[in-house]
Amino acid sequence: MHPAFSVIFFTVSSGAGFGLFALLYLTDLFGLSGGLPIEQKLVAGALALVLVAAGLASSMFHLANPKNAWRAFNRFRTSWLSREGVFAMAFYPFAIIYLGLTWLVVPELEVLRLTAGALATLLAWITLFSTGMIYGCLKTIRQWNSPLVPANYLTLGHFTGALLLLAVAGHGSVVLTGYVSLVLALLVVAASLKAIYYFWIAGPGAGPTIKTATGFTRGTVRLLDTGHTHGTFLTQEFGFQVARQFSLVLKAFVFVAGFVMPALILTLGGDVSVAIYAAAVTALLGMVAERWLFFAEARHVINLYHGAQHC
């Protein structure tokens, strides 16, 4: 699949935003390291809302006609894309109520504040899952049609969100040990799931082939010619190819920049503020490369009718 920058930015930005908000609420609820000061909670919450809004705005540029984006909301019963949009919009009122009551500090409304935060967190998780299922439900693309895809979206969103929460916490007087441990725990889970996903897509498995597509499963099937002499929308959008060597190099970069370097930077110490920012920047670069590969390696079954032997 052709990797569009708008979708890459959308999935990385909104994923980090939803993950950041969910972790902000959970650390607030359980008082991790004594809890963040109000000012830092507001900064982390505002950052999460901005990241989600920026991602949603970016996704509109991927549409052929952005002014019709509102139509994506009226297919809730059948479309994960529509569910993602609806749940993302429903997330905002509860998140704003939670942050507003956090700012006002009204003890009588503490239950309402925590309830609003819990609902916003639940909607953030559902939205992240819906984003993953937009791709995971597509049976025509073997590399996406797996429970590993929504699982990766959830874990990577929370990992990058945890790094951003650590960056915000680094500006206060709280003990950072708990936040660093949270980042490292999510890093291990995210890296493990990503490694399993890469191992799974490396083999052709039982995916569609030119034989299963044509029904001639016993003989050798070879496409003699295509029905056109120039590239089409289908070949440009669904026939994107990435060289095997480049793919391996990029996967190594994903793990080094996305997981190994942040883990080393956070565990080896040094200037705390510089280390946290360096870890966050390298991890986000790794996530951008991961998301680019996620789209570039996806092979739609339509490629079988343009010369591919398997997808």
- Tens of pLDDT, residues 274-298: 889 999 999 999 999 999 999 999 8
- Tens of pLDDT, residues 243-280: 889 999 999 999 999 999 999 999 886 667 788 999 99
Q: What is the pLDDT of residue 25?
A: 97
Is position 291 within any domain? yes
Is position 260 within any domain? yes
Share of the chain above pLDDT 70, in %: 97
Is position 277 within any domain? yes
- Tens of pLDDT, residues 84-129: 999 999 999 999 999 999 999 999 999 999 999 999 999 999 999 9
Number of domains the chain contains? 1
Is position 282 within any domain? yes
Residue 264 to residue 258: CA distance in whole angstroms: 11
Residue 79 to residue 74: CA distance in whole angstroms: 9
Is position 197 within any domain? yes
Q: What is the pLDDT of residue 204?
A: 65
CB 23, CB 182: distance < 8 Å: yes
This prediction has a pTM of 0.92
Which phi and psi angles does 209 have, rounded to 5°?
-130, 175
Tell me which residue range forms the domain holding 277: 5-305
Alpha helical stretches, state H, 71-230: 80-104, 110-136, 148-169, 177-202, 210-214
Residue 167 to residue 162: CA distance in whole angstroms: 9
Q: What is the pLDDT of residue 115?
A: 97
Any residues with CB less than 8 A from the CB of 81 and at least 6 apart, and which? Answer: 72, 75, 134
- Tens of pLDDT, residues 126-176: 999 999 999 999 998 989 999 999 999 999 999 999 999 999 998 877 888
Is position 130 within any domain? yes
Q: For position 176, which CATH number holds?
A: 1.20.1630.10
- Tens of pLDDT, residues 166-205: 999 988 778 888 999 999 999 999 999 999 999 998 876 6
Is position 41 within any domain? yes
Is position 298 within any domain? yes
